[in-house]
Structure 1
């Protein structure tokens, strides 16, 4: 069977109701697939040791996800979200499920048990363990709101990993037909968090369509190609790669908002995984920064350090 790849102009001209709007996370394999991809990419990355640590963390996420069941949105909150085109299970809420704090401790236990803990990492883990519930919730608030100067960069990936487990659990059990359309570009319709990267998929009903993947719950939603996933502009879109690098990974830049977000093509590398491939391609980030573009949003597992004068 020959599978046809749609060009951007063709995608924009067809009936969008025929395009699957959402891809909900694969609960049974999401984090284990990410872990395998991270290990595959670690050898060629300048931060290979860190990527292998994140692979161990992703394995811990998969194991923990299989053991939890978070509180789903109530019928009333779903109705409200649909009426006002809001995320159905917003992460930035005062009513965050306290289960996430237990998930954090389980992840720390499993990372320690894997035997990869350095003295520096041990201090990070010990610091997270002794924080009160109020301190941890304040840390989660800062991470989700991208308040970089309030978060220790070494702690943020573990906090985010715990939140990812809880919201992936929620997203995997929500009826996608209940998920509202959002008016705001660049926000997940399930949890409201920005996407980490986008992927042009192959196979079945998703063939040739571009989806952006949420950095928190891993829900994917369709965005037409050659369109900024940050500001919705279709002007000044360009694609950048590394000479001699993988043809499966590009940085999609926008001259309207001067940001970029990475995009992967499964037809060139079927194993492309948005979060993992984004994390392992720091060289492309450096080139984009030198060209004057800023990331639309950070990778959830690599928190940017804040200069001391900020």
Structure 2
């Protein structure tokens, strides 16, 4: 049986590297017993609010991490499938052409009203999106992929440009049609290429917090919470966008879904990784993966979210729902 361990939020401290002790006998937790002391670490003058993606390395690094964690994993076949997608993303990103820049007037208007600069209008105006999606379908190696993925590729190829754009807009807005979920994986991968390119060109000085769990660049949901080791943000907490790959600073030990600071705790499975946990909130009963990248620099939000699927299964037994979103692993 899995050894499911709990860690209370620590007293105020910048480093969360204290080892987590495993309990001898797993049992269902009474979450009402937890009395955390939230660490009120927010955005300081020395910690950048956002870190924009680097499209030139984002997808290649992700593919490398997926291949590294795949051997012997219960989800090895799927990890290799996503690695093939990431390699195709890297190929398409390198080939270009770059995504169409957002309209300057629309950017100014959205900034004035505190909205993310990238929107569905950015996608509709990106004349190269459909070519990027079709190029991705050609580039991805599906030799060992399940039949459903191969069928989804052919369905997308046969669809009209208008239908492909309509599906992309649904994925962008988080309204994934369950009857086309296999197609959504490919569409999401193409969106990630184009949005990462658009986000990388934004001016960080004009980006503002939008809401809990909302990317300040594109409005996407986070894949995971990450404790980073960048200079000057060492051991600060960031959320990683599921769409454009932007990292944005978030207060430590505060729910990413509802903003509550009470009832936040951390859980892990010792056979998964001591560097990957789930952060739970008893206020809204949500959870998100929590990656200690400052201890394990090769951790990738998308790759290690999939690799730590055992945590999703276990924490769901406790009645928590997923707050994060991994568009390449919709569960």
User: TM-score normalized by structure 2?
Assistant: 0.84
Question: What residue ranges of structure 1 are gaps of 5+ in the alignment?
Answer: 305-310
CA change 1:92–1:253 in 2 (3 A) is: farther
CA change 1:130–1:238 in 2 (3 A) is: same
Contact 1:73 1:89 in 2 (8 A): yes
Q: Give the match for residue 197 of structure 2.
A: 169
Task: Pick the aligned partner of 1:133 from 158, 161, 176.
Answer: 161
Matched residue SS, 2:111: helix
CA change 1:252–1:166 in 2 (3 A) is: same
Contact 1:87 1:188 in 2 (8 A): yes
CA change 1:246–1:47 in 2 (3 A) is: same
Contact 1:153 1:302 in 2 (8 A): no
Contact 1:247 1:268 in 2 (8 A): no
Task: Pick the aligned partner of 1:99 from 124, 128, 142.
Answer: 128
1:160 offset after TM fit, Å?
A: 0.2
CA change 1:117–1:241 in 2 (3 A) is: closer
Q: Partners in 1 of 2:49 and 2:223 — Cα distance?
A: 18
Question: Is 1:241 matched with 2:249?
Answer: no
Larger CA deviation: 118-127 vs 269-278:
118-127
Question: Is 1:47 matched with 2:108?
Answer: no
Q: Give the match for residue 119 of structure 2.
A: 90
1:100 offset after TM fit, Å?
A: 1.8
Q: Partners in 1 of 2:59 and 2:219 — Cα distance?
A: 20
Q: Partners in 1 of 2:197 and 2:42 — Cα distance?
A: 33
Task: Pick the aligned partner of 1:6 from 9, 14, 17.
Answer: 14
Matched residue SS, 2:180: coil
Q: Partners in 2 of 1:277 and 1:233 — Cα distance?
A: 25
Q: Partners in 1 of 2:89 and 2:106 — Cα distance?
A: 27
User: TM-score normalized by structure 1?
Assistant: 0.89
Q: Give the match for residue 91 of structure 2.
A: 63
Question: What residue ranges of structure 2 are gaps of 5+ in the alignment?
Answer: 1-12, 17-36
Corresponding residue pairs, total: 298
| Superposition RMSD in Å | 2.2
